[in-house]
């Protein structure tokens, strides 16, 4: 089975005015078809940079990204990207917002439009299809963003903190909806989050990243009892707290090491 995503020894350097920033270095991992994998780590450890390279929006400085065995050379129809902000156009109705990806690809056929209506129904949004985004709550707007992402039927979803702007209850509901929808449709997903419980509750595997430069610190397999449930119920499984404490202490060690490094650099810099 060819991996859905194959990141092979990838590094990315940003060149700013006077200095170069090594954003990520020597990152390698794979995402298998149908798998749900999370990347977690503190802000600045290169999560968004990694997603941008996988999405073909930016070429790696070194290394290669593959999608189903083909090297990434630019944006691919196999990928759908969902962000923290919904980026709905305020002057377009919900259904017209959901059509955007199809329009951009010249795929706005009767069949695809029907599929969008079906998705809106699945997401409990069909009654709002002619409303404007301003009339919807934050959670509903993120559901529209999910419909828009699924409308083009991508194989892989890249999710960059899609729940982090939502209130807690809405976030938990949407986690379940996203997990169930992607599972039913057999999609592969790569989720970026800084919420440890969300990563454990949603994923098959987790990569913990560390910053300066961004590297993979550890890979964590999520136990079967947690994986078998949707995210809300997963939080109540026997191994959940144990795994949470394990990942939490990894974060604490990482932030302690980071603080020590900053102190040293600060001292040397003067």
Contact residues toward ligand ADP (CB under 6 A) are 14, 16, 21, 23, 43-49, 214
Cα–Cα separations (whole angstroms), residue 214 to 39, 49, 149, 187, 190: 11, 10, 28, 27, 17
- DSSP assignments along 209-234, one per residue: EETTTBEEEEEEEPPHHHHTS-HHHH
Q: Which does 46 bind (CB under 5 to 8 A by kind): Mg ion, ligand ADP, none?
A: ligand ADP
Q: Which does 162 bind (CB under 5 to 8 A by kind): Mg ion, ligand ADP, none?
A: none
State how far the Cα of 94 lies from the Cα of 117, in Å rounded to an integer: 11
How many CB atoms sit inside 10 A of residue 169's CB?
Answer: 9
Beta carbon nearer to ligand ADP, 133 or 211: 211
Q: How far is the CB of 165 from Mg ion (least distance, A)?
A: 13
Tokens at 200, concatenated: 């454990």
Q: How far is the CB of 240 from Mg ion (least distance, A)?
A: 26
Question: By C-alpha distance, which of 95, 184, 194 is closest to 136?
Answer: 95
β-strands 62-67, 5-15 pairing: antiparallel
Q: Which does 169 bind (CB under 5 to 8 A by kind): Mg ion, ligand ADP, none?
A: none
**Inter-axis angle of helices 138-151 and 110-122, to 10 degrees?**
150
Cα–Cα separations (whole angstroms), residue 142 to 45, 91, 138, 217, 258: 25, 17, 6, 31, 34
* Helices marked H in 39-163: 47-54, 94-98, 100-104, 110-122, 138-151
Beta carbon nearer to ligand ADP, 43 or 73: 43
Name which position in 12, 38, 48, 152 contacts Mg ion (CB under 5 A). Answer: 48
Q: Which does 231 bind (CB under 5 to 8 A by kind): Mg ion, ligand ADP, none?
A: none
| Total chain residues near Mg ion (CB under 5 A) | 2
Beta carbon nearer to Mg ion, 48 or 142: 48
Q: Which does 248 bind (CB under 5 to 8 A by kind): ligand ADP, Mg ion, none?
A: none
Beta carbon nearer to Mg ion, 34 or 213: 213
226 neighbors 239 (Cβ within 8 angstroms): yes
Q: Which does 14 bind (CB under 5 to 8 A by kind): Mg ion, ligand ADP, none?
A: ligand ADP
Sign of CA dihedral 239, 244, 249, 254: positive
- Please tell me whether residue 193 binds Mg ion under the rule CB under 5 A: no
Q: How far is the CB of 258 from Mg ion (least distance, A)?
A: 17
Q: How far is the CB of 197 from ligand ADP (least distance, A)?
A: 18
Tokens at 247, concatenated: 């990942």
Beta carbon nearer to ligand ADP, 57 or 104: 57
Q: Which does 16 bind (CB under 5 to 8 A by kind): ligand ADP, Mg ion, none?
A: ligand ADP
Q: How far is the CB of 48 from ligand ADP (least distance, A)?
A: 3
Q: Which residues bind Mg ion (CB under 5 A)?
A: 47-48
């Amino acid at each position: 089975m060819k991996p859905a995503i194959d990141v092979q020894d990838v590094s990315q350097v940003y060149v700013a005015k006077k200095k170069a920033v090594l954003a990520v270095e020597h990152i390698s991992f794979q995402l298998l078809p149908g798998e749900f994998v999370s990347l977690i780590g503190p802000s600045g450890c290169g999560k968004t940079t990694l997603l941008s390279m996988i999405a073909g929006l930016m070429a790696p400085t070194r290394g290669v990204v593959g999608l189903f065995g083909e090297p990434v050379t630019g944006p691919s129809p196999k990928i759908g990207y969902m962000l923290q902000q919904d980026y709905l156009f305020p002057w377009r109705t919900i259904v017209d917002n959901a059509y955007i990806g199809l329009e951009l690809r010249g795929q706005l056929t009767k069949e695809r439009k029907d599929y969008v209506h079906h998705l809106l129904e699945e997401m409990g949004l069909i009654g709002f299809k002619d409303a404007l985004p301003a009339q919807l709550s934050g959670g509903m707007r993120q559901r529209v963003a999910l419909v828009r992402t699924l409308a083009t039927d991508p194989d892989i979803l890249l999710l960059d903190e899609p729940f982090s702007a939502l209130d807690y209850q809405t976030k938990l509901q949407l986690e379940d909806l996203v997990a169930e929808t992607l599972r039913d449709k057999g999609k592969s997903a790569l989720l970026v989050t800084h919420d440890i419980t969300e990563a454990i509750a949603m994923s098959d595997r987790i990569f913990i990243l560390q910053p300066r430069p961004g590297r993979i610190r550890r890979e964590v397999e999520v136990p079967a009892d947690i994986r078998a449930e949707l995210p809300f119920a997963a939080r109540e499984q026997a191994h959940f707290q144990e795994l949470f404490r394990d990942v939490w202490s990894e974060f604490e060690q990482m932030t302690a090491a980071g603080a020590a490094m900053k102190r040293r650099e600060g001292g040397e810099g003067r």
